[in-house]
C-alpha cells in the first residue's frame, strides 16, 4: 500500500497520479494500492517529509544541520550532479 500526503493534491491530481502509477504497475488494478491521507495523522509521512527536508537543505541550501542527525541511518546515497 502506497500512502501519499494529500495536503498538496486536489482530487483531480490524485486521480491522475493513481492512473500514472497503475500504468507503471499494470498488473495491479487502478486505485487498489494507493491512498491519500492527511499527514497530520500519519507519522510515517511526517518522518519521510522531515528526512526529505533535511536532504534538501543539505544539497540545495548547503545546510547540513539536520542531515547530520539522520546521516548514520542512510544506507545508500548516490547523487547525480547536473
| Domain range annotation of the chain | 1-37, 41-74
pLDDT, one tens digit per residue, over 33-46 is 677 888 888 898 89
pLDDT at 18: 80
Report yes or no on whether pTM surpasses 0.85: no
80: left (phi over 0), alpha (psi -120 to 50) or beta: beta
Please report which confidence band the pLDDT of residue 28 belongs to, taking 50, 70 and 90 as the band edges.
low
User: How many angstroms separate the CA atoms of 28 and 23, rounded?
Assistant: 9
Mean pLDDT (the chain) is 84
Neighbour tally for 23: CB within 10 Å: 9
CA distances (Å), origin 32, targets 8, 15, 61, 82: 21, 12, 38, 37
Amino acid at each position: 500500500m502506497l500512502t501519499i500526503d494529500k495536503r498538496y493534491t486536489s482530487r483531480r491530481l490524485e486521480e491522475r497520479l493513481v492512473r500514472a502509477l497503475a500504468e507503471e504497475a499494470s498488473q495491479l488494478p487502478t486505485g487498489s494500492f494507493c491512498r491519500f491521507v492527511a499527514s497530520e495523522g500519519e507519522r510515517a509521512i511526517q518522518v519521510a517529509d522531515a528526512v526529505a527536508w533535511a536532504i534538501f537543505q543539505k544539497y540545495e541550501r548547503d545546510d547540513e544541520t539536520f542531515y547530520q542527525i539522520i546521516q548514520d541511518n542512510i544506507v545508500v546515497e548516490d547523487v547525480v550532479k547536473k
